[in-house]
Amino acid sequence: MITALSRQTAVADEAIEMCSVRIGQTLYGVPIMRILEILGKPAKQPVPLAPRYIGGLVHYGGEVLTTVSLRSLLEMREHNAVEDILVFEGVDGYFGLLVDEVDEVMTVLPTEFEGNPSTLDDRRKALFAGTYKLKDRLLVMLDPERLDPVRLAETATA
């Protein structure tokens, strides 16, 4: 799956490469260009007293990576299975995003994009960038910038 990421480089100019990840039944998409690395089910260490959306610490290339749990951000029940981690570059160094599973790489067209529906609750509106209409389902767009723990800490205190 990870090797698939590097294979698909030459696509039509307007097509965007998305890495799709699954949380529960929903499919989310993250632009591939933003992902530094995908860590397959590493051991993570919980941090006592940390904000709820912090998923724990993960050892990453000699550094300590702070991870954000998308499940707790969406106020979903935590599950105990090991999770995959997407690594992003944030304001304050790298951070990781915990997802149930990394699915596949797909290409989407800008024409398929639509913004967040107005009926979506505020919490989700703040996290999602919009959605791509795939043939048979929706791909909810995640914006790594909005998931940066520094940013989340700001919005939590505000």
Partner 1 sequence: MERCLTELEERPGDHELLAEIFRSVHTIKGTTGFLGFSRLESLAHAGENLLGLLRDGKLTANAEIISGLLALLDILRGILAVIEASGQEGEGDDAAMIERLQVLQQGSAGKPAQADQSQQPAKKKRIRKPKVKTGAISVQGAAQSAASREEVKATEIYQAEPQTAQARTAVNAAESTLRVDVDLLNRMMNLVGELVLTRNQILQMVSSDANLTVLSRRLDMVTADLREAVMKARMQPVSHVFSKFPRMVRDLAQQLNKRVRLVMEGQETELDKSLLEAIKDSLTHSVRNAIDHGIEMPQARETAGKDAEGTLRLRAYQEGSHVVIEVSDDGGGMKVERIRDKALERKLITRERAAQLSDRELMQLIFLPGFSTAEAITNVSGRGVGMDVVRTNVEKIGGKVEIDSRAGKGTTLRLRIPLTLAIVPALIVRSHGQSFALPQGALFELVHLSAEQIREQMEWMEGTALYRLRGKLLPLVFLGSLLKQRADLDPLREVYIAVLNAEGRRYGLVVDGLADPEEIVVKPLSSVLKQIGLFSGATVLGNGEMALILDPGAIATQANIGMALEDDEPEIVEANMNDGTTEYLLMQNDKEFAAVPLNRVLRIERIPCAQMEWLGGMPVLRFEDTLLPLLAQKNSHAALSDEAEMTVVVCLDGERHVGVAVDHVLDVASGKPLAEAGTQIAAHDVTLLKDNVTSIVNLSRIPALPRVNQPTKVVATTWREIEVGALV
Cα gap 149→60, rounded to integer Å: 17
Q: Which of 61, 114, 145, 155 binds partner 1 (CB under 8 A)?
A: 61
Closest contact distance (angstroms) between CB of 145 and partner 1 is: 15
**Residue 4 engages partner 1 in binding (rule: CB under 8 A):** no
**Residue 155 engages partner 1 in binding (rule: CB under 8 A):** no
Ramachandran angles phi, psi of 61, nearest 5°: 50, 45
Encoded amino acid at 114, one letter: E
Q: Which of 48, 77, 118, 136 binds partner 1 (CB under 8 A)?
A: 48
**Residue 99 engages partner 1 in binding (rule: CB under 8 A):** no
Closest contact distance (angstroms) between CB of 26 and partner 1 is: 25
Nearest Cα to 110, choosing from 10, 30, 16, 12? 16
Cα gap 47→95, rounded to integer Å: 15
Cα gap 10→41, rounded to integer Å: 29
**Residue 57 engages partner 1 in binding (rule: CB under 8 A):** yes
Query: Where do contacts with partner 1 occur on this chain (CB under 8 A)?
Result: 43-51, 54, 57-59, 61-64, 66, 92-93, 95, 149-150, 152-153
